[in-house]
Amino acid sequence: PGYKQHSDSLESMIIKLYSKGVTTREIADLIEKMYGSHYSPAQVSNMSKQMIPKVEAYHKRKLSDKFFCVYLDATYLPLRRETFEREAVYIAIG
């Protein structure tokens, strides 16, 4: 049914936004502005709990012996240029 498809895609979007670090309150506000549907932050939180088993499985997965790690980070420094106000300095450790 049409409503079921709309609901499933909306829930999928909520889970993706939450996994990207968007807060439940921000997600609820976005959905209301975009779709006119009202979801409370608590409802968004309940939907995002579907991710917990996947996250736990990811943390418990077995790593191969050939696994390596690269850590990337950046810090932004203020600049006095005409084109840029801040510029990223990237750090890579591996």
pLDDT by position in tens, the chain (length 94): 544 445 677 788 888 888 788 888 898 888 888 878 777 888 888 877 877 788 788 888 887 777 677 888 998 888 877 776 788 888 888 7
**Cβ count within 10 A of residue 18:** 20
**By the 8 A CB rule, do 15 and 47 touch?**
yes
Residue 69, burial from CB neighbour count under 10 angstroms (0-12, 13-18, 19+): exposed
Q: Where are the domains of the chain?
A: 2-60
What's the pTM value of the predicted model, to 2 decimals? 0.49
